[in-house]
Amino acid sequence: MTALAILLRRELALAWGRGGGALYACAFYAGMATLLPLAAGSEPQRLAVLAPGVAFAALALSSLLSLERLFERDFEDGALDLLALGSPPLELVCAVKCLAQWVASGLPLALLAPLIAIALGASPVLAPLIVVTALLGGIGFSFSGGIGAALALGARRGGLLIAVIVLPLFAPPVIFGAGAVQAFAAGLPWTPGFVFLAAYSLAAAALSPFAMAAGVRNAIS
Amino acid sequence: MGREKNLLITRLAIQDLGLSRGERRLFSGLSLTAQAGEAVALTGANGAGKTSLLRAVAGLIRPAAGAIHFEGGAGVLDPDEARAGGLHLLGHHDGLKTNRTAGEELLFWARWTGGSTEAIARAIDALTLTPLLDLDIRKLSAGQRRRLALARLVAAPRPLWLLDEPMAPLDAANRERFGALMADHLAGGGMIVAAVHDPLPVPARTVEIGAA
């Protein structure tokens, strides 16, 4: 257990340290959220309807940014070998890395999400639900994204490959998360979407470590 | 810690090992053993499979044929447990993050491999790392980085050292220091399997990889 706690601390230090990229993801998120209304037109009513969806889609894309860093740097400098040789199972190592990534960049992005939705014209009443769905969705993004990051290890232009592998995996949390918020805004039953989002994220957290570990083993062998 | 004692590797036995990389067979029919206190120097041309052999012993590469056994006082050990607590692999890459300080990285890897605070202090002392600890890894030379990686071996004592060209970037004084550490390790019942081009500074049995 202690080894995993030490690993978690290192991952957080790396993500928040120089060149860690957690801040870049937030800046990218804010940039995306500014760019989309420029394309969609600035009529407040139309934007207000789109706001939760835009906030969620931009959140998914921002979550992509830090995926390349998840395993690639450890793979290049040989740290991944040493992590794979450690006493904790590689599945848990991968899960801890995803968890750290969620804490380091998913958490700030989730806190940013309601601000962005409100800036786009969504009602402030939605803010709590947006934070919670963004947090839950972030777990799904981190863990399902980790599969892509592990599969793309060692490939040339790995970052692009990750995006291609991972974007389809990101569709369900975007559908359920934005759907729940939009249903809530329209006064419709929102729990089904929310429950599906939770189920997807928890399933990703439970199952993806096995896929990630297999991908990593394949890359370092 | 009592559990680790039972896992102590006292003999490494490789039988009829064959390794392939992709379609290419690197070597086959390789057998070698290392007893407690013994060093084995792997020699052979570039690309003969020395690194792959070390990685196969560490469990990172699955052999195409043959078997690798770790034996302890109570007979053959479970390979996963023996590997997790019983060996160090020191590869070409030192596993150090360029944007962290030497002290942070040493502490992390020493803790990750189960090193105690006293052992970490001993490692810092043995490899004269004190002046480096506050420096960023990016500012260290290859030899300094290697010394930091070697410190793991001392900071978390384990019986089997798998070393891939351990001396290559080291200067004469540090080769001597590391030679003394290897001699200590062997004297304490440890084993070393090292891929080398230059002879090891300790008495070692030489095994040529890829020799017909």
Q: Give mean pLDDT, residues B155-180.
A: 90
Concatenating the DSSP letter of every residue in chain B gives -HHHHHT---EEEEEEEEEEETTEEEEEEEEEEEETT-EEEEE-STTSSHHHHHHHHHTSS--SEEEEEEEETTEEPPHHHHHHHHEEEE-SS----TTSBHHHHHHHHHHHTT--HHHHHHHHHHTT-GGGTTSBGGGS-HHHHHHHHHHHHHHS--SEEEEESTTTT--HHHHHHHHHHHHHHHHTT-EEEEE-SSPPSS--EEEETT--
Q: Do the Cβ atoms of B60 and A83 come within 8 Å?
A: no
pLDDT surpassing 80 at residue A19: no
- Residues of chain B contacting residue A86, judged by C-beta atoms under 8 Å apart: 84, 112-113
CB pairs under 8 A between A and B: 69
Q: Which CATH architecture has domain B2-95+159-208?
A: 3-Layer(aba) Sandwich (3.40)
Closest CA to A203 of A140, A132, A157: A140
Give the residue ranges of DSSP H helices in chain A: 2-16, 22-40, 44-65, 67-76, 79-85, 90-101, 107-119, 127-151, 158-185, 191-220
The 10s digit of each residue's pLDDT in B42-74 is 998 888 888 999 999 999 999 998 999 998 887
- pLDDT category at A169 given cuts 50, 70, 90 is very high
Residue A170 has pLDDT above 70, yes or no: yes
Please name the member of B84, B91, B100 whose beta carbon is closest to the beta carbon of A86.
B84
Nearest to A172 by CA among A155, A195, A146: A195
Give the residue-averaged pLDDT of B178-182: 92
Instruction: Give the residue extent of every domain in chain B.
Output: 2-95+159-208
In this prediction, what percent of chain A has a pLDDT beyond 70?
A: 98
Q: Does B91 touch chain A (CB under 8 A)?
A: yes
Q: Is A18 on the interface with B (CB under 8 A)?
A: yes
Cβ burial, residue B122 (10 Å; 0-12/13-18/19+) = middle
Which residues in chain B have their CB less than 8 angstroms from residue A74's CB? Answer: 95
Q: Are A106 and A131 a contacting pair, CB within 8 Å? A: no
Q: CB neighbours (10 Å) of residue A138?
A: 28
- pLDDT at residue A48 is higher than 80: yes
pLDDT in tens, A52-106: 888 888 999 998 888 888 998 899 989 999 999 988 999 999 999 999 999 999 9
In chain B, which residues have their Cβ closer than 8 Å to the Cβ of A79? 93, 95-97
Rounded average pLDDT over A142-165 = 89
Q: Which residue type does B152 have? A: R
User: Are A79 and B113 in contact (CB < 8 Å)?
Assistant: no
Q: Residue A1: its pLDDT value, please?
A: 55
Instruction: Establish if A132 touches chain B: CB-CB under 8 angstroms.
Output: no
ipTM of the complex: 0.89
Average pLDDT over chain A, rounded to an integer: 90
